[in-house]
Amino acid sequence: MSGFPWGAFAVNLAGAAGAALAVMLVTFAVALRIGVHRIVDVAWGLGFTAVAGVTCVLSAGEGDPVRRLLVTVLTAVWGLRLAVHIARRGRGHGEDPRYEAMLAKAPGSRSAYALRMVYLLQGGLVWLVSLPVQAAQYVPGRPSVLAWAGTAVWAVGVGFEAVGDAQLARFRADPANRGRIMDRGLWSWTRHPNYFGDFCVWWGLFLLTCDSSAAAGVSVVSPLVMSLLLTKGSGQRLLERHMADRPGYAEYRARTSGFFPRPPRSSRQRGAGEV
């Protein structure tokens, strides 16, 4: 499909950057007040929601109204659910060890270092990763079967995240499970149901751009970057390094897929070296 409005989209890129920056700066101010930088993880989902909302306003009269509303709602549902979940999980806890370790090495002011290396960096990632959310809203024409397939992939992703998070929360709430490895429900099919869910969410949102080759071309970097972050960057790799010495984790890793869901392997399959 031709006729992608590049001029209007360029203006939107600036507006989206402003929205992401505003969310991160407000979060930084709150973090300084309460003395805990872990709340930036809450701002991650809020930043995408803000970008989707600003884009919906700026794209009025440019993209298809059905697609604009669909992309905005999907992004907001995902972003707000994630923000609420992280806020509840972190309630009553101190600083995240990751940020504590990072800021302990800060050259000079910890606050200035946090602003540069945590808030502004995450704001830039929000802007980059949200390119499908922005580009899809400027695609003319009603959503095709491909766009609705993307919606289905998004739904699978959100389902994996929500169900996996709920199962883990129930597991941790039981004192009998203290020190044990969560290997039930979705966690028996993949060691990272939430990361796999994120993977599906962003590839699903990307599919909503694919009715326009221009929109798809400009936004394909988003799911590629997210896939790398989830599997090779700050997601799966770092978490598994942290969990490696936990009792029972080596056995759990041997029988459970690292990313894409599949039934757990039996001892016979593990002995045969199947993957």
pLDDT band at 271 (very low <50, low <70, confident <90, very high): very low
pLDDT at 272: 36
- Could you read off the pLDDT of 116-164 as tens digits, one per residue? 999 999 999 999 999 999 999 999 999 999 999 999 999 999 999 999 9
Tell me: pLDDT of 83 over 90.
Answer: yes
- Could you read off the pLDDT of 17-42 as tens digits, one per residue? 999 999 999 999 999 999 999 999 99
**Is 211 inside a domain boundary?**
yes
Residues 6+ apart with CB under 8 A from 58: 8, 11, 12, 15
Q: How many domains does the chain have?
A: 1
Give the C-alpha distances (Å, rounded to integers) separating 94 from 152, 177, 184, 238. Answer: 38, 22, 28, 20
**Is 107 inside a domain boundary?**
yes
- Label residues 176-210 b or e (16+ Cβ within 10 Å = b): eeeeebbbeebbbbbbbbbbbbbbbbbbbbbbbbb
The pTM assigned to this predicted structure is 0.91
Cα 23 to Cα 93: distance, rounded to the nearest angstrom: 22
| Cβ atoms of 221 and 153 closer than 8 Å | no
- Could you read off the pLDDT of 183-220 as tens digits, one per residue? 999 999 999 999 999 999 999 999 999 999 999 999 99
pLDDT at 236: 62
**Is 201 inside a domain boundary?**
yes
Structure tokens at 187: 């966690």
Side-chain-facing half-sphere of 224: CA atoms under 13 Å: 6
Mean pLDDT of 79-106: 87
pLDDT band at 245 (very low <50, low <70, confident <90, very high): confident
pLDDT at 238: 64
pLDDT at 248: 84
Cα 107 to Cα 172: distance, rounded to the nearest angstrom: 37
pLDDT band at 273 (very low <50, low <70, confident <90, very high): very low
**Is 176 inside a domain boundary?**
yes
**Is 11 inside a domain boundary?**
yes
Domain that holds residue 98: 6-272
**Is 1 inside a domain boundary?**
no
**Is 135 inside a domain boundary?**
yes
pLDDT at 237: 63
pLDDT at 275: 29
**Is 200 inside a domain boundary?**
yes
Closest CA to 65 of 140, 173, 158: 140
Mean pLDDT for all residues in the chain? 91
